Amino acid sequence: MDDRVHEHAEVLVDWSARIERGDHVVVRVAEGAHDLAVAVAEKLGERGATIATSYAADEVSRAYLRAHDGDFATPAQELALYEAADAVLSLGGGRNTFATADVDGATRQASATAVDPVREARLATDWVSTVHPTRSLAQQAGMSYAAYQDFVYDAVLRDWEALAGEMQELTSVLSAGSEVRLVTETTDLTMSIEGRTAVNSAASVAYDSHNLPSGEVFTAPYATEGTVHFDVPMTVSGSRIRDVTLRFEDGQVVEHSAAVGEEALTDVLDTDPGARRLGELGIGMNRGIDRVTDNILFDEKMGDTVHLAVGRAYDACVPDGEAGNDSAVHVDLITDVSDDSRLVVDGEVIQRNGRFRWEEGFDAGASA
Amino acid sequence: MDDRVHEHAEVLVDWSARIERGDHVVVRVAEGAHDLAVAVAEKLGERGATIATSYAADEVSRAYLRAHDGDFATPAQELALYEAADAVLSLGGGRNTFATADVDGATRQASATAVDPVREARLATDWVSTVHPTRSLAQQAGMSYAAYQDFVYDAVLRDWEALAGEMQELTSVLSAGSEVRLVTETTDLTMSIEGRTAVNSAASVAYDSHNLPSGEVFTAPYATEGTVHFDVPMTVSGSRIRDVTLRFEDGQVVEHSAAVGEEALTDVLDTDPGARRLGELGIGMNRGIDRVTDNILFDEKMGDTVHLAVGRAYDACVPDGEAGNDSAVHVDLITDVSDDSRLVVDGEVIQRNGRFRWEEGFDAGASA
């Protein structure tokens, strides 16, 4: 087995999930994640945790859902499993990213509603989601298998402690700040972040961060004004979307266009009133991720990018007693900020052309 | 997918486990049993049961066990899973029958002790174990993959209702009987079955039978006298055993020999006092199983065979308040009765040369 599989397991168990002796751990294994499951089991054995394994196979879900009449019950046995678990490690990595493409939306939705208590029980644990590189994900990324493995391990095997420290700088700036302005050749957008809390998403439950890889700082903006252009291509609900432009007035999208997938974009924005407001401003800081692979787990953490999500805000960013933006959707859109860009907080340039204020090569002299 | 995989799933879900709407089902999926898991999920969806899947991969167990310091805790999350389950369907079929061969016995034993409450919770459900044909099991059987698939489906896809009816005849005879005598060219053995209950093992929880395939009738004999020769080869704890002869006096083995593996046989018999007494007399009645494949799930149900186990008796055969033979082991040994043999209950020939009294071709006239 590739040594990096063992290193991945170690980062997951120790840095991300902080597993300790006696922890009751559920490991969810996707169809293609067997090797990572073996490496994770070894680490859990070393740590003296207990282990129970779920088989999270899309083809099994598809067969079950398509055969069902739609009157779903909550699976009491799975609920009991997660309620008794301290941590849940989800090892993604399937064999076909379209394995459930022919399950109809109503069935999917009815099942999700019945399974919601299970999902909530899982989210109440120290859960972490990661992916094992598979040929299917390499194909989704348009990459060879070997190159995709390199890509995944570059993203996952970081010096997380050092990155968490660096991200804390930005987290402090955003938590203390009132107004953010993002400027590129085709973007000039202003948002309020007054009273909102930024999250240092450092790929560890110790940071309330549940994805491996992670490497972003995010907050929940509001009162958005201006125009933003997203030049990173995305897949939203199975539709390719490219070169989105949104114009905001009074916090709401009042104009939108896309070079590709404009109809899908319109559908998203028409979901509910909250779908026209921002739910997230995220700044990608994982420079191990150096290309778009059409997988949001990686894309939104890419170094030198900024993403904005229309729709639902995360509770962690909003003070107790206050409501963040609410919506049935949360769709991330990404823009490259490596060139000809600046991110300005309360009149001070925090990042210019992808370099942060505290990094070497930061150009302090130019305009805010 | 081979139609027979779907038929296998249907027999398992409907005949064996008797799954009904709202049942909470755990499906345990071995490394090579993905296709059967998909077919079983489809059936569970059709029936309106709920599903939770476990990944029962030997390589995952091996990695965990070898890394652990041996001070195991009971996995509370897995215990909760089985305690909340109505049925557990175990889909065997690995990729290497020796996948855990390098886990030491003490570790294995310590883990089994910690996991014992989980095992008991599983056995308290409507559990059924079956196997999906894999290349590894074909290799174990010394067969090509295609021939092994035919073999498994011939064994599993029976007219179980008809076979259960036929087996009921023998079950009634044995439950009512007092003394069984087995005679072949090299065997003349007498056992008491007075007061013992025979079990019709018809591959269904409705018959308190938890293996698919099944197809045997068994009881718990005692007061064994005489000599028995087993001509079907076996693997016991990893050792090949061939041509075993046992001589009983007063219910105990007083002499034993084996052409191959005599040392392993001696180890079994020396385990404890109960290991020298019989725990089971079983009559194989599944004529879909027509050859030895070195897999006890199949071998002991083979038509025209009789097996005897030294060691532990099953509670179901022993009246309440009475103790059956107790031992840490239960090792089955098999003899071919298709030729030159007779099975006699209370002086009446029940089976001669593999034909039962109620079958065409039964030779009623000859001696008992």
Residues B120 and B172 placed together within one structural domain of the fold: no
What is the DSSP code (8-state) at residue A16?
Answer: I
User: Of all residues in chain A, what percent carry a pLDDT higher than 70?
Assistant: 99
**In this complex, do A77 and B82 lie within 8 Å of one another by their Cβ atoms?**
yes
Q: At A121, is the secondary structure helix, strand, or coil?
A: helix
User: What interhelical angle do A105-123 and A76-83 show, nearest 10?
Assistant: 30
**In this complex, do A80 and B81 lie within 8 Å of one another by their Cβ atoms?**
yes
Q: At B151, is the secondary structure helix, strand, or coil?
A: helix
Chain segment B303-356, per-residue pLDDT in tens: 999 999 999 999 999 999 888 999 989 999 999 999 999 999 999 999 999 999
Select from B38, B304, B11, B36 the least CA-distant residue to B156. B11
Q: At B178, is the secondary structure helix, strand, or coil?
A: coil
Q: Which residues pair with B281 in a beta bridge?
A: B219, B308
Residues A321 and A297 placed together within one structural domain of the fold: yes
- Identify the residue whose tokens are 């491996």: A212
**In this complex, do B48 and A54 lie within 8 Å of one another by their Cβ atoms?**
no
Domain residue limits at A119 = 3-156
User: Is residue B191 assigned to a domain?
Assistant: yes
Tokens representing A32 are 């293609």
User: Is residue B366 assigned to a domain?
Assistant: no
pLDDT band at A93 (very low <50, low <70, confident <90, very high): very high
User: Is residue B33 assigned to a domain?
Assistant: yes
Residues B133 and B152 placed together within one structural domain of the fold: yes
Q: Rounded to whole angstroms, how far apart are CA atoms A309 and B100? A: 48
Q: Rounded to whole angstroms, how far apart are CA atoms B72 and A243? A: 55
Burial label for B98, CB within 10 Å (0-12, 13-18, 19+), is exposed
Q: At B356, is the secondary structure helix, strand, or coil?
A: strand
Chain segment A143-177, per-residue pLDDT in tens: 999 999 999 999 999 999 999 999 999 999 999 99
**In this complex, do B77 and A38 lie within 8 Å of one another by their Cβ atoms?**
no
Mutate to test the interface with B, among A58, A81, A107 (most CBs of B within 10 A): A81
Residues A106 and A224 placed together within one structural domain of the fold: no
Q: Answer whether A89's CB lies under 8 Å from A63's CB.
A: no
**In this complex, do B76 and A37 lie within 8 Å of one another by their Cβ atoms?**
no
Tokens representing B178 are 């007092």
Chain segment A70-80, per-residue pLDDT in tens: 999 999 999 99
CA B60 to chain A, closest CA, distance in angstroms equals 5
Establish how many alpha carbons lie within 13 A of residue A72's alpha carbon, considering only the half-sphere containing its beta carbon: 23
Radius of gyration from C-alpha coordinates of chain A: 21
CA A276 to chain B, closest CA, distance in angstroms equals 37
Residues A195 and A145 placed together within one structural domain of the fold: no
H or E element: which one contains A216? strand A216-219
**In this complex, do B80 and A78 lie within 8 Å of one another by their Cβ atoms?**
no
pLDDT of residue A237: 76
Residue A96 has pLDDT above 70, yes or no: yes
Residues A259 and A307 placed together within one structural domain of the fold: yes
Average pLDDT of chain A is: 95
In angstroms, the first-to-last Cα distance of chain B is 50
Q: Rounded to whole angstroms, how far apart are CA atoms A44 and A47? A: 5
Of the candidates B50, B55, B68, which has its C-beta nearest A48's C-beta? B68
Select from B174, B29, B162 the least CA-distant residue to B93. B29
**CB-based contacts of A192: which residues, under 8 Å, 6+ apart?**
A178, A179, A221, A222, A223, A224
Q: Answer whether B210's CB lies under 8 Å from B129's CB.
A: yes
Of the candidates B50, B60, B83, which has its C-beta nearest A75's C-beta? B50
User: Is residue B361 assigned to a domain?
Assistant: no
pLDDT tens for chain B, 368 residues: list them.
Answer: 899 999 999 999 999 999 999 999 999 999 999 999 999 999 999 999 999 999 999 999 999 999 999 999 999 999 999 999 999 999 999 999 989 989 998 999 899 999 999 999 999 999 999 999 999 999 999 999 999 999 999 999 999 999 999 999 999 999 999 999 999 999 999 999 999 999 999 999 999 999 999 999 999 999 999 999 999 998 887 788 999 999 999 999 999 999 999 999 999 999 999 999 999 999 999 999 999 999 989 999 999 999 999 999 999 999 998 889 999 899 999 999 999 999 999 999 999 999 999 998 898 776 66
pLDDT of residue A366: 63
Establish how many alpha carbons lie within 13 A of residue B329's alpha carbon, considering only the half-sphere containing its beta carbon: 24
Q: Rounded to whole angstroms, how far apart are CA atoms B57 and A34? A: 9
Last residue of a domain, one of A127, A156, A185: A156
Q: At B89, is the secondary structure helix, strand, or coil?
A: strand
User: Is residue B368 assigned to a domain?
Assistant: no
Chain segment A252-307, per-residue pLDDT in tens: 999 999 999 999 999 999 999 999 999 999 999 999 999 999 998 999 999 999 99
Q: Rounded to whole angstroms, how far apart are CA atoms B22 and B49? A: 5
Of the candidates A44, A54, A79, which has its C-beta nearest B55's C-beta? A54
Question: In chain A, whose CA is at the least distance from the CA of B70?
Answer: A48
Tokens representing B286 are 């599944």
| DSSP per-residue codes, A259-301 | EE-HHHHHHHHTS-GGGGSEEEEEEE-BTT--S--S-HHHHTT
Last residue of a domain, one of B122, B156, B190: B156
H-state helical runs in chain B: 3-10, 34-47, 58-67, 76-83, 105-123, 135-141, 145-156, 160-176, 262-269, 296-299
Tokens representing A282 are 């995220």
Q: Answer whether A256's CB lies under 8 Å from A281's CB.
A: no
Residue A365 has pLDDT above 90, yes or no: no
pLDDT of residue B17: 98
Residues B169 and B309 placed together within one structural domain of the fold: yes
What is the ipTM, given to two decimal places?
0.91
pLDDT of residue A238: 78
pLDDT of residue A42: 98
Mutate to test the interface with B, among A6, A55, A100 (most CBs of B within 10 A): A55
Q: Answer whether A290's CB lies under 8 Å from A154's CB.
A: yes
User: Is residue A364 assigned to a domain?
Assistant: no
Residues B174 and B244 placed together within one structural domain of the fold: yes
User: Is residue B245 assigned to a domain?
Assistant: yes
Q: Rounded to whole angstroms, how far apart are CA atoms B220 and B325? A: 8
CATH at residue B47: 3.40.1830.10
User: Is residue A366 assigned to a domain?
Assistant: no
CA A101 to chain B, closest CA, distance in angstroms equals 16
Q: Answer whether B192's CB lies under 8 Å from B178's CB.
A: yes
**In this complex, do A67 and B53 lie within 8 Å of one another by their Cβ atoms?**
no
Amino acid at the residue B315: D
Q: Rounded to whole angstroms, how far apart are CA atoms B271 and B263? A: 13
Q: Rounded to whole angstroms, how far apart are CA atoms B296 and B364? A: 32
**In this complex, do B71 and A48 lie within 8 Å of one another by their Cβ atoms?**
yes
Q: Which residues of B touch A78 (CB under 8 A)?
A: 50, 52, 81
pLDDT band at A105 (very low <50, low <70, confident <90, very high): confident
| DSSP per-residue codes, A68-91 | S-S-----HHHHHHHHT-SEEEEE
Pairing of strands B179-183, B342-345: antiparallel
Q: Answer whether A301's CB lies under 8 Å from A212's CB.
A: no
**In this complex, do B69 and A80 lie within 8 Å of one another by their Cβ atoms?**
no
Residues A164 and A141 placed together within one structural domain of the fold: no
Select from B116, B99, B54 the least CA-distant residue to B81. B54
Q: Which residues pair with A226 in a beta bridge?
A: A189, A248
pLDDT of residue A319: 92
What's the length of chain B?
368
Q: Which residues pair with A242 in a beta bridge?
A: A260
Q: How far is residue B119 CA from its own chain's centroid?
A: 17
Sign of the alpha-carbon torsion through A177, A181, A260, A137: negative
How many domains does the structure of chain A reveal?
A: 2
**In this complex, do A53 and B51 lie within 8 Å of one another by their Cβ atoms?**
no
Select from B214, B223, B230 the least CA-distant residue to B195. B223
Residues A198 and A134 placed together within one structural domain of the fold: no
Residues A11 and A148 placed together within one structural domain of the fold: yes
pLDDT of residue B361: 87
User: Of all residues in chain A, what percent carry a pLDDT higher than 90?
Assistant: 91
**In this complex, do B51 and A34 lie within 8 Å of one another by their Cβ atoms?**
no
pLDDT of residue B103: 92
Of the candidates A29, A46, A48, which has its C-beta nearest B55's C-beta? A29
Last residue of a domain, one of B137, B156, B175: B156
Tokens representing A266 are 């319109």
Question: In chain A, whose CA is at the least distance from the CA of B54?
Answer: A54
Chain segment B172-193, per-residue pLDDT in tens: 999 999 999 999 999 999 999 9
Residues B267 and B296 placed together within one structural domain of the fold: yes
